[in-house]
A = this chain, B = another copy of it.
């Protein structure tokens, strides 16, 4: 039987697992709410239970048929030791995740930062397939980022690099959890867009935004796009401001990395051309290399919701080669 992989997407909201083939195809998915805060052991048990359950449901023997389990986690991950140095979302420090899960399941485990897992998915089987030099930004609760240089994940000296969400783009600006002020993710994450939408709604009681979402607590990043599509000027203003910040940070990253492909992931990237068009216009004005023929391509990530599962599984595939 073809060897299979389990990908685990360890998120603040839910733990998702999937059985994944070598080519990135998902055979089956399961998930369970994370219910943070939780002691480390509870999360470890949740991961193990889900892995055993999904194998059971697929009639798979976890020891015979599963080559490796890949886990994508937010925070500072040492992909050699499988230790999570720190994760502000989970509140853990020095979490020996690889060791713990291997001991409990008896299967080889690989751990990688979640945004790194997402770019691994894209360069192995997605929009940046075969590309030796690529960057991903995932626009979610924060702005996650992963960088591939010469075909390998770039983590810097201490495996903690590529934290582009914590690049200040507005000195003295919005306070960030990381301790800085004005971080990119405080303006360009999905959470930031939701925040800005709510502020606009409170200031404009007649905006169409209220018709689309009468309960302000239910606002999502989609709310603003829906209102904009129906011609709401307030929504358009929120979006235009959001794009200015997003494009500013992306242009910084382009000027720094000049990757062949820069992919955008996370829920907001479902908006595709609504995002890509103004971003490209901004880059055409401000990219330092705009005079060259070889320009960075901005693409929407192929694996949006499943990037974590596929990428985490493919970390296992990569390392098993």
Give the contact stretch, choosing among A59-67, A211-219, A249-257, A268-276. Answer: A249-257
Those of A151-167 within 8 Å (CB) of chain B: 154-164, 166-167
B180 and A286 contact, CB distance less than 8 A: yes
Number of interface residues of A (CB under 8 A): 48
A259 and B168 contact, CB distance less than 8 A: no
Residues from chain B with Cβ under 8 Å of A244 in the complex: 171
A157 vs chain B, min Cβ distance (A): 4
A119 vs chain B, min Cβ distance (A): 15
A85 an interface residue at 8 Å Cβ cutoff?
yes
B170 and A171 contact, CB distance less than 8 A: yes
A206 an interface residue at 8 Å Cβ cutoff?
no
The 0/1 profile, CB within 8 Å of B marked 1, for residues 165-203 of chain A is: 011111101000011100000000000000000000000
**What's the number of copies of this chain in the assembled complex?**
2
Residue of B nearest to A296 (CB): B157
B170 and A157 contact, CB distance less than 8 A: no
Cα distance, A158 to B258, chains bound together (Å): 7
A294 an interface residue at 8 Å Cβ cutoff?
yes
B171 and A169 contact, CB distance less than 8 A: yes
Residues from chain B with Cβ under 8 Å of A252 in the complex: 167-168
B133 and A168 contact, CB distance less than 8 A: no
A248 an interface residue at 8 Å Cβ cutoff?
yes
Cα distance, A245 to B172, chains bound together (Å): 10
Which of these, B76, B178, B285, B286, contacts A292 with CB under 8 Å? B76
A197 vs chain B, min Cβ distance (A): 19
Residues from chain B with Cβ under 8 Å of A286 in the complex: 178-180
What are 30 A-B contacts defined by CB distance under 8 Å?
Answer: A76-B292, A85-B292, A93-B291, A149-B149, A156-B257, A157-B258, A157-B294, A157-B296, A158-B289, A158-B294, A158-B296, A159-B258, A160-B258, A160-B288, A161-B257, A161-B258, A163-B255, A163-B288, A164-B255, A164-B256, A166-B255, A167-B252, A167-B255, A167-B256, A168-B251, A169-B170, A169-B171, A170-B170, A178-B286, A179-B286
